[in-house]
Amino acid sequence: MILDEQAELESRVLKVCPVVVRQKAGKRELLMFKHPLAGIQIVKGTVEPQDTSYEQAAIRELSEESGLSHVLGTQYLGRWESGYRGHIWHFVYCEVNPQPERWTFHTLDDGGHDFQFFWQDLEGKALADCHPVFLRAMEKIKRLLPVNIA
Half-sphere CA count of 92, side-chain side, radius 13 A: 27
Q: Measured between alpha carbons, how far is 49 from 54 in angstroms, rounded to an integer?
A: 11
pTM of the model: 0.89
pLDDT at 10: 53
| Separation between Cα atoms, residue 96 and residue 47, nearest integer Å | 21
Architecture in CATH for domain 6-144: Alpha-Beta Complex (3.90)
The model's pLDDT over 67-113, given as tens digits with 9 standing for 90+, comes to 999 999 999 999 999 887 788 999 999 999 999 999 999 998 778 89
For Cα atoms 19, 3, 68, give the angle at the middle one, nearest 5 degrees.
30
In the chain, alpha helices (H) = 6-11, 54-66, 132-144
Which pLDDT score, from 0 to 100, does residue 126 have?
76
The domain locations on the chain are 6-144
Q: Which of 22-26, 118-122, 126-130 has the lowest mean pLDDT?
A: 126-130
Rounded to whole angstroms, the maximal C-alpha distance in the chain is 45
pLDDT (tens digit per residue) in 128-146: 889 899 999 999 999 999 8
d(CA 37, CA 18) in angstroms, rounded, equals 21
